[in-house]
Amino acid sequence: MDDSKDFQLRYVGKRFDGTRLPVDILADLPAFRDLLVAFAKDEWRKLNSNYVRVPRGFDKSLSFDLVALEPGSAMPKLNWRKESTQVNLPGFSDQIETIVQDSYMDIVKLIDNAANSIFPESLSSEHIRALNKFGSRLKDGERIEFLGSSDTNGNVVYFDAPRRKDLITHVRETYEAKFEGVGKLLGSQVADSVGSITIRTEQHGDISLNLDPERIISEFDGNINSDVQFDLTIELDHNNKLRSVIEIFDVELIDSISPAQRKLLDRLEHLASLEKGWMDGMGERLSATAIETAGYFITITPLTADAYKIYPSETGGILIELEWDDWDYSVEIQPDGSVEMYGISLSDTQEITPMSFESIDSSFLQEFSSRTRT
């Protein structure tokens, strides 16, 4: 790195094209800082073995600012405020500067080693907490590159969901990950001041979610077998078996499913069972992210669902086609959950060139609704 006070990450994936960094990904930045601080404490102890513990003010001395989001996918630049060390640890600025740089390289080495199946025997709870947050919202096919680093082959070191899972589960039994989608409400329980609902999901079976009892009574009571949209952080073991729900970001009832939507969701479930090589030896297995995204799209667009035709894509995504109001539209969901929409007129030579969206988000839904007038 040219400047030991600057650290730059590069997010690679369709969601990050055009220098876009989704808001939920911003949580990676304090997690990266926490991981660097954990290694900085290790480096301090190596250099100062006469100290029983790190000095008071050590943590506060490592303050970082997001100073830029540069093009080239999305590249957040973090700057270490050296003056924070001068205030909190006067007289130690030069040593801390070396420690900060070495700690960054410790992170790179940890991840590069994990890519080569070389794992530490153990990591402290502080390291684990940071790792469980850093990269937890990466989707299939996305990665974080550590600019200025290189592995033994001269390639930049990167962190993705498989490497993250392997690393964490080799130093402890479980890891944390994002889980969002649509499930079926099986039941609810309310006792005194606590309550929970149970939803059935395709990927992880039945999940119990603790919610406020008043909310359960007002929103979920009497809605057995209704569809529920959820956004969670969950704990999984090395075999991707659910251990627990860590955090609930969102859980909402959605409108009842029509027969046409149910038929489409059944079709989607069939496509999810296709093995790699489903197309005469070609064709990737459909990604879980693409399946979840397509299911969400189907459930929130009931007015056009009758017109949908669903196909698997060779790359592991899903193609949804529909003819509507003299137009032939295509909604292509990529393996990482990003979306492209394009179309041609059936009555003249007009066409819609591909438009890219990071997900089935408000901007996509606004465009889709304006085109289909729904």
Domain boundaries, the chain: 6-172, 177-253, 259-372
Distance between CA 90 and CA 83 in Å, rounded?
10
The per-residue pLDDT for 374 is: 73
Question: Nearest-CA neighbor of 326 among 354, 307, 306, 300?
Answer: 307
CA angle 314, 135, 13 (to 5 degrees): 35
Output the average pLDDT for the chain. 89
Q: What is the mean pLDDT of residues 325-350?
A: 94
| pLDDT tier at 18, thresholds 50, 70, 90 | confident
Residue 92 has pLDDT above 80, yes or no: no
CATH 2.40.50.140 is right for the domain spanning 177-253: yes
pTM higher than the cut 0.85:
no
Question: Nearest-CA neighbor of 48 among 91, 1, 5?
Answer: 91
By the 10 Å C-beta count (0-12 exposed, 13-18 middle, 19+ buried), 196 is classed as: middle
Q: What is the pLDDT of residues 276-308, one digit of tens each?
A: 999 989 999 999 889 989 998 998 898 899 999
Six-digit token string for 125: 């709870």
CATH among 3.40.630, 1.20.1740, 2.40.160, 3.10.450 for 259-372: 3.10.450
Q: Which amino acid is at 146?
A: F
> Would strands 309-312 and 242-253 be described as parallel, antiparallel, or unpaired?
unpaired
